[in-house]
Amino acid sequence: MTSNKKRRVVITGLGLITPLAVGVRETWDALCAGKSGIGEITRFDASEFSTKIAGEVKNFNPEDFLPKKDAKRTQLFIAYAVGASRMALENSGLVINGSNSHRIGVVTGCGLGGLAILEETSRTIDLKGPKRVTPFFIPMMIGNMAAGMVSIQLGAKGPNASPATACAAGTHAVGNAFRMIQNGEADAMITGGVESVITPTCIAGFNAMKALSTRNDDPEKASRPFDRDRDGFVVGEGSGIVILEHLEHALERGAHIYAEICGFGMSGDGYHMTSPPPDGEGAARCMAAAIEDAGISYDKVDYINAHGTSTPLNDFYETLAVKTVFKEKAHSIPVSSTKSMTGHLLGAAGGIETVFTALTIQEGIIPPTINLEHPDKECDLDYVPNVARKADVEIAMTNSFGFGGTNGTLILRKYRN
């Protein structure tokens, strides 16, 4: 007889490729030191663009993670996903083989997919005609190919999916993978988010919406969540991947446990294509749903990794949402936005920020919100300004909110027997 009791889910492996560094320890050390990964765009000539800065990944070689033949016909976002997944799997010590491959799956969130190859192919058609289009165009463009290639390269044959829920995609991916393990559909999952869209189309599109920072003369100061002088977000790229396992599976093989995932919430704003609703009502419901799912009271949360994009509306409404959920405790909870250092990785944001939240719990260090130099009177919480803080974090929350009013929140806690 099958038990209806949900299984506990733990994080046993971490992988990071970010504008700060390629690697978990290198990224984490830079994050805690308050370093910025933002600089001038080098991928294309941005001289005619209002925004000339981004968070590009440096010193990444796809052939370090993929066979040379595959690396040549793989878009960066796919290579980032494979690279971060290989890191996470190696870090976990989990071995995928013929006896367990069908019980190990992949869910990676991706917001925009292969914009670079889409732009390149459009030019090819215009200049050379449709017969010159590469047969690899569609596989290189579609966002779910990141999860597909991770599955192919690592041999994971369990559930395979790719949420495309904009800036909430990474968090939704982790949440969906968490549910699959809870419900017995898989024993382990490779999950997180990936994005690489530092392209003319992306920057021009966000510029047209007035969404990006134009602080081009001082790139490292451009991403400044909750600061009075914030003027928009900065596009970043990379991938953050975690290995999730049900607790007994992890314990049986003696795995190191970074943290336990205990709650996941989702909501829809039903309000506007790009703007959050007044008072952050949708975000508040999302956080409340995650807290309820975790079976904890709101006063047990010790830290919030905020969505914190550095846009005027998001930061203000997220602040209001935190106050709605946490009431009188809101001002005593440390809240920080790591996007101040990485930029906004769009569909990958929830992946890297799940890794950051797990490390906050394990390491007892809360990353800062850098560039918070001029407090905004409407953003009046404890944003851990500019300097990392030592803290014993038992339970932490991480938020992601996306265009279309799609929201996701995860609750992580310190693993206890």
Give the number of other Cβ atoms within 10 Å of residue 310's Cβ. 27
φ/ψ of 236, rounded to 5, equals: -120, 175
Quick check: is 102 catalytic? no
- Rg for the chain (alpha carbons), in Å? 20
Q: Kindly name the residue from 172, 246, 249, 307 that is annotated as catalytic.
A: 307
Burial of residue 133, with CB atoms counted within 10 A of its CB: 0-12 exposed, 13-18 middle, 19 or more buried: middle
Q: Kindly name the residue from 167, 202, 286, 379 that is annotated as catalytic.
A: 167
Determine contact, residues 86/15, Cβ cutoff 8 Å. yes
Torsion of CA 387, 224, 196, 187, to 10 degrees: 50
Assign residue 114 a region (left: φ > 0; alpha: ψ between -120 and 50; beta: otherwise): beta
Quick check: is 167 catalytic? yes
DSSP annotation of 133 reads S
Q: Kindly name the residue from 172, 246, 249, 344 that is annotated as catalytic.
A: 344
Determine contact, residues 265/306, Cβ cutoff 8 Å. no
Quick check: is 344 catalytic? yes
Q: How many residues does the chain have?
A: 417
Quick one: which H or E segment has residue 367?
A: none
By annotation, the residues acting in catalysis are 167, 307, 344
